[in-house]
Structure 1
Amino acid sequence: MNTIRKISLFGFVALFLATAIGEACAAAIFVSNEKDDTVSVVDSESLKVIKTIQVGHRPRGIIITPDHKNIIVCLGDDGQLAIIDANTFAVTRKLDSGSDPELLNIDPTGKILYVANEDDSLVTIMDFKTGNTIQEVPIGVEPEGMAVSPGGGIVVATSESTSMAHFIDTKTYKVLANILVDSRPRYAEFTADGSKVWVTSEVGGSVSVIDAKTYKILNVVHFSIPGVRPELISPVGITFTKDGKRAFISLGKANRLAVVDTSNYNVIDYVLVGQRPWHTALSPDGSTIYSANGETNDITVVDVASLRPLKSVPVGRLPWGLTIRP
């Protein structure tokens, strides 16, 4: 009898631990909801919203720190950044970031923040720990995209109204180059090796691939979708797969993600998602990509291998950006 009780107890403990470990292994998807002033937290296994966080007015750009401890979200109408504990989901502090922050990024050490201030035509460089402004770098009109090189030495900011990608040295804070791209550039992303920068142009309907050393445009990717008018194809966000062989481009009003072969810049496929996808995020294991769809108030779960949309998950109103805590 004692032996049976011990076995039963052991089984109960094993089941409890397995459940706890399973819960701990689930990734948390953080989605900024521009109209609701909230961040939705979605469990990657159940695909349900497990928390809604009130953050401030007009949250848009959202990232996770390199140590995975904090989520940082731009509050456009507050001129602030909200810092969220990635495990407790509590807003721990707010940092003054300058007028109308839209997108932001952080250096690989997790110490320095780079914020696009749309109203002021500035890139604000901040100390993450203290919240102090280190430098303000004037660039073109309506800054938005903000990419940091893998080594942290270069930042690329895009200016929508000037139609440029600006390369900034992070040691001297000098603008090294101003590269003209197609109309209304919205986002920039370095390749994993830091050799190239991809820049989306929403009105131009294209993606420019720029050499990060020579600042030369190597290729311009265009899109064509049967039955979709060209003016509805409006590229915004970019996410590379873990192996770097493919890029997923959010095509906005076209309601699709374009899948691009990074070796030859050919479009492999178009994945139908919700209405007006803004940005995407890749799961920690690289098997799934999530799309934030502004006009259908949901995120679409897409299988990377098959390029099939698997599920739509309702979140808040006007979901804009995503980031994932492993």
Structure 2
Amino acid sequence: MIPASRAHRRRIRPRVPRSLLTLCVAIQLALVAVSPGGTSASAAVPAAPRIYVTNQLDDTVSVIDGGTHRVIATVRVGVSPAELAASADGRSVYIANTGSDTVSVLDTADSAIARTIRLPRASKPIGLAVSPDGRSLYTADGGADRVSVLSTRTRRVVASVRVGTQPVSVAVAPDGRRVYVANSGSDDVSVIGARTRRVIRTTPTGRFPSGVAVTPDGTSVYVTNELSGVTVIDAASGTVQARLGEPSPFSVAMSPTGDRAYVTDLGLGNLTVIDTRTHQVAAVVGVGPIGTDPFTARAAGDAIYVANQGANTLSIIDPSTFMATATVATGTSPYGIAVVPAPPTSR
């Protein structure tokens, strides 16, 4: 439910009731090659990424160091921030502020808000996605039954596409040609042609779709339906490939290699791992006790990140062992996650 006022703020949900091995990016010692003349060369080593988490009831974003797992900044944004997405170059993070009909643009260099983009009144943006070329930003406007298309260069709305009822999540195909929108109010997914900016297909899913993600090869679309499990759609034909009866799934994220889909299960405190080759459950990872409320997941590098709304924490899970390697305290009611890799440094 979308909050009506600050005095009676509630967590953003679809219209239904509730029913990271620490990203310890191992900074390797530089390999030193000794030449016959006695000189040495230093190699570039990766630095720790930054993790950005929206705190829905605090109107803030927590900035977390991926190496130390400490909150290094807390940034004030708009009202009821939900999803966020990083720019293609990692210089900006975009935040959808549902309660103030805005998108905040955070400069990752100094963790400051560089600009606030205003959407039409009652847009209530929830989901966000950036095109692979970095030129377009898509917002799922849950209050207006549309997707807004913004230019990341001008930071202005350049198009508006009517979709199903109460869109809450949006994902872009790896080739950038199609945009997928989960419509929680009409139990379907809208497929938008990125060039024409028109809906080219609508696929029924399950009850109250709330999350959508595309496999890295672009062949399958995974949709979480909060009251009826997970639907897997063939991207080419639009037909349903598989249905999994997961309890109260809310969001879905793909592994970087595309072999796994990670699904958060509301209330139960679990993260379900799906093998994308077989469309079967490969593992169930306990994140916390009932009430932990895993809400959103992201997978990047050597870690899976899970925002736990009920516990006000971020779990960092090792994808090779499925063991939690760190738990970071966030603000109140964490929602969205974005991971921005740090540029390599020389040693």
TM-score tier by shorter-chain length is 0.7 to 0.9
- Taking the aligned partners of 1:305 and 1:155, their CA distance within structure 2 comes to 31
Q: Paired residue for 1:266? A: 280
Q: Paired residue for 1:100? A: 124
- Taking the aligned partners of 2:248 and 2:220, their CA distance within structure 1 comes to 22
Does 2:329 align with 1:307? no
- Taking the aligned partners of 2:45 and 2:97, their CA distance within structure 1 comes to 30
**Shift, 1:169, TM fit:** 0.7
1:100-138 CA deviation, whole Å, 9 max, x = no partner?
Answer: 000111111111111111111111111122222222111
Q: Paired residue for 1:287? A: 302
Answer yes or no: is the 8 Å Cα contact 2:161–2:197 preserved in 1.
yes
Does 2:337 align with 1:322? yes
- Equivalent pairs, count: 294
- Name the aligned partner's letter for residue 86 of structure 2: I
Q: 2:47 aligns with which of 20, 25, 32?
A: 25
Question: Measured at CA, do residues 22 and 39 of structure 1 come closer, stay the same or move farther in structure 2, by a change above 3 Å?
Answer: farther
Matches within 5 A, 1:131-142: 131-142=155-166
Q: Paired residue for 2:295? A: 278
- Taking the aligned partners of 1:240 and 1:22, their CA distance within structure 2 comes to 28
Q: 2:170 aligns with which of 113, 132, 146?
A: 146
**Shift, 1:83, TM fit:** 0.3
- Taking the aligned partners of 2:218 and 2:252, their CA distance within structure 1 comes to 15
List alignment gaps of at least 5 residues for structure 2: 1-42, 342-347
Answer yes or no: is the 8 Å Cα contact 2:217–2:258 preserved in 1.
no
- Name the structure with the higher helix share: 1
- Taking the aligned partners of 2:156 and 2:318, their CA distance within structure 1 comes to 41
**Shift, 1:24, TM fit:** 7.8
Q: Paired residue for 2:76? A: 54
Q: Paired residue for 1:14? A: none
- Taking the aligned partners of 2:325 and 2:133, their CA distance within structure 1 comes to 35
Query: Equivalent pairs: percent with the same residue?
Result: 28
Does 2:106 align with 1:91? no
List alignment gaps of at least 5 residues for structure 1: 1-20, 224-232
- Taking the aligned partners of 1:121 and 1:35, their CA distance within structure 2 comes to 24
- Name the aligned partner's letter for residue 116 of structure 2: K
**Shift, 1:265, TM fit:** 1.5
Does 2:252 align with 1:238? yes
Matches within 5 A, 1:244-255: 244-255=258-269
Question: Measured at CA, do residues 152 and 96 of structure 1 come closer, stay the same or move farther in structure 2, by a change above 3 Å?
Answer: same
- Name the aligned partner's letter for residue 128 of structure 1: T
- Taking the aligned partners of 2:187 and 2:238, their CA distance within structure 1 comes to 15
**Shift, 1:50, TM fit:** 0.7
- Taking the aligned partners of 1:34 and 1:41, their CA distance within structure 2 comes to 14
Does 2:94 align with 1:72? yes
1:297-316 CA deviation, whole Å, 9 max, x = no partner?
Answer: 00111111011122211010
